[in-house]
Amino acid sequence: MSAVNWLEWGDPAFARARAEDRPILLTIVASWCRYCRDVDATTFADPAVIQAVEEGYVPVRVDKDRRPDVNERYNAGGWPTIAFLTPEGELLAGDTFLASEEILPLLRRIAPFYRENRDTIRARIADLVSRTLRAQERRETSGGTLSPEIPRVVAGAILEHADPVYGGFGEGQKFLHPEAVDFALVWYGRTRDDRMREVLERTLDSMAAGGIHDRLEGGFFRYATTRDWRQPNTEKLLESNAGPLRSFVEGWQVFEKEEYRRTAEGILRWLLATMRDPETGGFFGSQDADPEYYSLPLEERRRRVAPETDRTIYANWSAATVSALLKTSVVLGSEEARAGALRALEFLLAEMYDPSRGMHHYWDGTYHLAGLLTDQAYAMRMLVDAVQYTGENRYLAVAERLARVLFEQQASPGGGFYDIRTEPGAIGGLKRRNRSILENAVAAEALLRLSHFTRDETYREAARRTLEAFTRDYKQYGYYVAGYARAVDLFFHEPLHLTVIGSRSDPATEALRRAAFACYVPSRIVQVLDPEADADAFERAGLPRSERATAYLTVGRTSYASVTEPGELASVMLMAERDRTAREE
């Protein structure tokens, strides 16, 4: 273990650095990262390194999952990150894993160089920051016009970069890229492009069969080091399983391969057995890597202590997991998934939500760090998913409140939202706010869906401005911005909106709601409106009250059908989807 006396990121550490005129030695680590443990056991256990740190620096440590805002601004390309900062928090130099013989010359050189040249360094940093801010201001006022061609461009990037032999994307190490799979499913569901079908089946088949998939205990490892998916890094992250759960559930719906269903059920089993906190119902952040453990047969594993879990609960990852579990509950008919999702959702709202500040980022016995876009975006999406998959409209009020918090505290003048709020006394890079295309895409999709559920165009307009902010930049990211393409596609290709009108206590209403999920229809919206319990929303919908529970199919202002028999609903939905797709083409 490291013998360095690491301090937390915060005012006391930086005040000490200023008082002692010392640079900050910042390390960014992850609880699940084997190389982070290695650097502690070697580099930062070396007496010569410890002495050099003690004599010349104020050492600060940050967990990248707990402080994604810090990680975003100082990460050097992986973990551990080792960075040298001024006492004001500005970056001097940075690298990833450094052995003792590599870091010692830096430790001995950077501190005296800083003290001898601090005025020149500060002037150069001030000039660089000024130029960076001007460039950012230009980008924030140079958004273009949204075009339905954007999803087609990203679909083309998926086809271009798909591995034709082993599936997935690229020809080196393999990550899961669930957003690309998700958008590919949407695209295939509408276009029936055989090339996209090949990409999807090859990718899902290879993921399920590869070493990246733990077929014994369920779940996926973070990534595979080889192109053929065989050799994984064996840490399991909550965020690396929420997306694949949705991918395999929807893949099973589309392609009807039992292996996809079994893979989804394995992820569900791992989530509920290993990652769920029995006390709170929340979901833990990650499970450590242990190659030896995962190489054992199941019976031998049971005689071993399982790899340790990071018991921190993260709002963004948990919200994504709740969304995936809710989807699983209706498609696979899993009451266990539904119960697990709703208990976690209620925990997040009870312990990590503040109406005036939005979602806090993490919980370790209490809540911490409000105001990150990632948490607001995924929580909004979770809440509109909860409306869809439970039939309960009560979650809309919290989703609307989160939207207002974003509008008031993090809206960018050029459209979209900043990743953090403005905080008085922010340190170094945290003085400057960024706009992430990935997090903004999640927010835009949530806002679009919220506009459909509430029949309020305010949210659609906010989503439009958010998406427009990235029209000049998205091409450089290729298939990595599949989530952005999906949100743009949702903007132009309005979803099939199924509204079930009937008493929520009527079994016929529930039967229609469940039937709405029997087949795969890209981006559909399903909402139950009880004329008595949801009087205001029912009036805004402008749909008739019937003696029998009735499902009304609409797209925008166009009505397609009204259905009272659950057994007819799937065929009517598919027919309506084919019809409107043909009209648009």
Q: 281 falls in which pLDDT band (50, 70, 90)?
A: very high
Q: Which two tokens stand for residue 205?
A: 């088949």
Write the pLDDT tens digit of every residue in 6-61.
999 999 999 999 999 999 999 999 999 999 999 999 999 999 999 999 999 999 99
Q: Provide the CA 60 distance to its chain's centre, in angstroms.
A: 27
Given a cut of 80, whether residue 552 has pLDDT beyond it is yes
How many Å apart are CA 158 and CA 164, to the nearest integer?
11
Q: Are 549 and 557 in contact (CB under 8 A)?
A: no
Contacts 24+ apart (CB under 8 A), 503-512: 503/530, 503/531, 503/532, 503/549, 504/391, 504/528, 504/530, 504/533, 506/549, 508/548, 508/549, 508/564, 509/391, 509/549, 510/391, 511/549, 511/566, 512/549, 512/550, 512/551, 512/563, 512/564, 512/566, 512/569
Please provide the CATH number assigned to the domain covering 149-493: 1.50.10.10
How many Å apart are CA 390 and CA 527, to the nearest integer?
9
According to the model, what pLDDT value does residue 556 have? 85
- Neighbouring residues of 284: CB distance < 8 A, sequence distance ≥ 6: 238, 275, 276, 277, 309, 310, 311, 312, 313
According to the model, what pLDDT value does residue 582 have? 76
Rounded to an integer, the average pLDDT of 328-332 is: 97
According to the model, what pLDDT value does residue 546 have? 87
Write the pLDDT tens digit of every residue in 361-412.
999 999 999 999 999 999 999 999 999 999 999 999 999 999 999 999 999 9
Q: Are 122 and 85 in contact (CB under 8 A)?
A: no
How many Å apart are CA 90 and CA 129, to the nearest integer?
9
According to the model, what pLDDT value does residue 585 have? 65
How many Å apart are CA 393 and CA 455, to the nearest integer?
13
Burial 391-405 (b: 16+ CB within 10 A, else e): bebebbebbbbbbeb
Q: What secondary structure letter does DSSP report for 287?
A: E
- Neighbouring residues of 230: CB distance < 8 A, sequence distance ≥ 6: 210, 211, 224
Given a cut of 90, whether residue 128 has pLDDT beyond it is no
> 428: phi > 0 → left, psi -120 to 50 → alpha, else beta; which?
left
Q: 133 falls in which pLDDT band (50, 70, 90)?
A: confident
Please give the single-letter amino acid code of residue 520.
Y
Rounded to an integer, the average pLDDT of 156-160 is: 98
Give the rounded percent of residues in the chain with a pLDDT score beyond 70. 99
Given a cut of 80, whether residue 583 has pLDDT beyond it is no
Q: Are 428 and 475 in contact (CB under 8 A)?
A: no
Rounded to an integer, the average pLDDT of 549-554 is: 96
Domain layout of the chain by residue ranges: 7-140, 149-493, 498-584
Rounded to a whole number of angstroms, the distance between the first and last alpha carbons of the chain is 62
From the list 381, 343, 329, 392, the residue with the least C-alpha distance to 359 is: 381
Rounded to an integer, the average pLDDT of 434-460 is: 97
In CATH, the architecture of 498-584 is 3-Layer(aba) Sandwich (3.40)
Q: 2 falls in which pLDDT band (50, 70, 90)?
A: low
Largest pairwise CA distance in the chain = 84
Q: Provide the CA 18 distance to its chain's centre, in angstroms.
A: 37
* The domains spanning 7-140 and 498-584 adopt the same CATH topology: yes
Write down how long the chain is.
585
Given a cut of 90, whether residue 141 has pLDDT beyond it is no
**Least confident segment among 122-126, 136-140, 361-365, 409-413:** 136-140
Whether cis (ω within 30° of 0) applies to the bond prior to 80 is yes
Rounded to an integer, the average pLDDT of 502-523 is: 94
Rounded to an integer, the average pLDDT of 525-554 is: 94
Among the residues of 223-372, which ranges form H helices?
239-255, 258-270, 291-294, 298-302, 315-331, 335-351
Write the pLDDT tens digit of every residue in 210-235.
999 999 999 999 999 999 999 999 99
Rounded to an integer, the average pLDDT of 328-350 is: 98
Q: 142 falls in which pLDDT band (50, 70, 90)?
A: low
According to the model, what pLDDT value does residue 376 have? 98
To the question of domain 7-140 being in CATH 3.40.30.10, the answer is yes
According to the model, what pLDDT value does residue 1 have? 61
Q: Are 517 and 331 in contact (CB under 8 A)?
A: yes
**What mean pLDDT, rounded, does the chain reach?**
95
How many Å apart are CA 432 and CA 470, to the nearest integer?
19
From the list 572, 32, 30, the residue with the least C-alpha distance to 290 is: 32
How many Å apart are CA 450 and CA 388, to the nearest integer?
11
Q: 359 falls in which pLDDT band (50, 70, 90)?
A: very high
